[in-house]
Structures are given as C-alpha cells and as structure tokens.
Amino acid sequence: MKADSALKVGILSLSNYITVLVNTILFPVFPAMARDLGINLTDLAILVGIVSFPAAVINLFGGVLADRFGRKLVMVVSLFIYGLGGLVAGLAILFVAKPYPLLLVGRFLQGLGSATPMFLSVALVGDIFQSIERSKAVGFLETANGLGKVSSPVLGGAIGLLAWQAIFFLYPLVAIPVAVATWVYIKEPKHDKSVEWDKHKEAFLLFTNRSRLLSLVAAFLVIFLLIGTMFWMSDFLGAKLEVNKLLRGVIIALPAVAMMLTTLAAGYISQRLHPRIIIALGMLLLAGSAVLLGFFFNALLFWPLIVLVGIGAGITLPAIDTVSTSVKSKDIRGLTTTIYGSARSLGGALSPITFSFLLHYGNRLTFASLGAAGLALTVIFYLLFREKDILPEELLPDDAAPEQG
C-alpha cells in the first residue's frame, strides 16, 4: 500500500478505534467512580445507556445525514462532538460539586458523536479505494475495531491506576486531532447530495420479512448479553476480588479477547455450517453460559464461562454481518447495515440498565432469567429462520437453494 493510502487508512482506522472506547474503557474504574462521585450501580448503568441510545437512533438516520451533507463532514463533526462530550464530562468532575447531571450531558454528547464514524469510515474506504487496496483497507478498519474492543478495558484500567478522571480527557486528546486529520487528508469524491428517500424506505421494508427481523433480534441479543456480562464483571470484580484496576481491566477484557480470536475463524466456520446453524449455535453458547454464570459465579467454572460468552458472540456476529450485507440491491446495503448497527447499539444501551435493575435481586436470578430468555429466542430463531427468504442464491446452502427449472 502506498504511503498516501496508508496515511488515509491509518486516520480512518483511528476514528474507528477511538469511538469503540466510549463505554468499556470505563468499566474497570466504575467502583472508584461510584465511590468518589457518591453514585450507585444504576447511575453507572445510565452513564452507559445514555451513550448508546442516541447512537441507536442516529445510526438509523446517519445515511440520510451523509447523503445530505457529505460523509466526511458528518464524520468530522461527529468526532468533534465526541471529544467535546468527553471534555464536558471531565471538567464537570473536576470543577462541579455535584457533577453527575453534567456528566450525563457529556456522555449524551459522546453518544451523538460516536454513532456515525464507524460505518462512515467504511463507506469512505469504499469511495476512496479500489479493488485490492479496498479489501486491505477494510481489513485494517476491522482490526482497529477489534483492537478497540480488546484493549479498551485494559487501557481504562491502566489510566485508572493514575487517576480515573483522566479517561474523560483522553477522548478530546485523540478525537479532535483525528477529526482535523480527517478534514485535511481525506478527500471525498464528489457526489449528488440529494437524499433518496425511496432507498431508505426500501431498506426499512426489508425488515417486514420474518427471517431478517429474527436476525436483527439476534444482533440485539448478542450485544445485550456481552455488554451486560462485562458491565456486571466491573461491579462483581470490584466487590469480590482485591485486584488493581489494570488487572481488573484485563479480566473484563477476556470476553472481548475470546470474541476477537473466534472471529478469526469465521471464514473456516462459514464454509462448513449454514448461517442459521452458526447464529443459533453462537446464541446457544452465549445464553447457555449466561444461565450457568448465575449458578457458578463463585466457582472456578466462572473463568471458562466468561470466555464462552465471548466465543458465542464471536461465532454469531460474523454470520449476522453476512446476513446484514446480503441484500440484492447494492444501493441499500449500507443502509441495511446501519439498521443492524442500531440494533446492536440498542442492545448496548438497554443491557447495563436491565442488569443493574435485576442485580438488586441477586446474581442468580439476573443471569438465570436473562439467559433463559436468550435460550428461548435461540429456539425461536432456529425454528423460524429461513435462509432462502433473505440470502442471495450464491450464499445459500445446497439444501436451502431454490429448485431450478
């Protein structure tokens, strides 16, 4: 890859990386935050949810904004808002006697800013690069995304050893320079900036199909259980294990590490199993592990179970990505992907709030009930999902392909 191309890919990858840090980087320092700010687990859950809710909404309409104002402009403005949100939150903590309301404002701004960069960076890669370079560039973006998920809790724990408040100032320190670099170095090809409402309507109408709707529910469930488990671990480890913030971050990152390593085998798995079986298997591992965590959270089995949560997510998400991009019209592929992104963001938003509410009734009831609900959805998915309803013929398994003649 040429030096100029490498610079552009590096900038877009950084935008991907830093927006992934929005929530899980804080998990290792949640006990210290709760103590110093005088807030409880529910308040911490709201700090997570208030980021993901606006992201879920904006993801649905990010394509409209990009069509109207240009991808680069929307991305640059988003990164500035993201950094500003971190700055507002950090200054509130340092200079306001009761900072929690302003902290929520800062986190809401971060939610607005974190919504679009991830999918717009992929769209810009498609605009800028061709053929082989495009494939390499997308690979770098995915790597940056995966590294963000894995390193985020570890980075938060490391910064927390010095001062957990410093995490909020990390956001503007990295987001604003990346926003400036994006504006200066990324050249977006000119295109018609009229909004094509028919395409957006077509993308949403796809989800009147039962099988596609089930795959959307699966995307929600995976992120819901994964983020919920990591959120619970932040509180559980602080109460049960006498470890420093860095080690706590390493432990919290275990499901994300397992997920990332599992996704590396996605190609191998997809060649041997049908998408329906892959998604159902991943959901089964994830939900089954959640049920067992409710009974073995104080036993040695805790460690393999939290790894299995990550493995279940790692099996499921690549198959859901295949389904989300498998639409006949290339014109609505990006729009369809953002709808799946909204489902994931909604899962991330509702998860900590739901977990914090149920945890008042104990770990066992929390994981048993949510895991059982996940298992029920897995059975429904397996029985009702039909690959031939939504996948193009070239991606159908032999026994699901429509008959010729």
Q: What is the mean pLDDT of residues 30-59?
A: 91
Question: Does position 376 have pLDDT exceeding 90, yes or no?
Answer: yes
- Range 251-268 average pLDDT: 88
What does the pLDDT read at residue 404?
45
Q: Which CATH architecture has domain 1-185?
A: Up-down Bundle (1.20)
The pLDDT tens digits for 174-191 are 999 999 999 999 988 776
Say yes or no: domain 196-405 is CATH 1.10.150.20: no
- The stretch 133-140 carries a mean pLDDT of 73
99 band by pLDDT with thresholds 50, 70 and 90: very high
* Rounded CA separation 160/157 (Å): 5
Report the chain's mean pLDDT, rounded to a whole number: 87
196-405 has the same fold as 1-185: yes
Residue 327's pLDDT band, with cuts at 50, 70 and 90, is confident
pTM (predicted TM-score): 0.88
Domain ranges in the chain are 1-185, 196-405
User: What's the confidence (pLDDT) of residue 321?
Assistant: 82
What does the alpha-carbon distance between residue 51 and residue 304 come to, in Å, rounded to a whole number? 30
Q: Name the band, by pLDDT with cuts 50, 70 and 90, for residue 357.
A: very high
pLDDT band at 379 (very low <50, low <70, confident <90, very high): very high
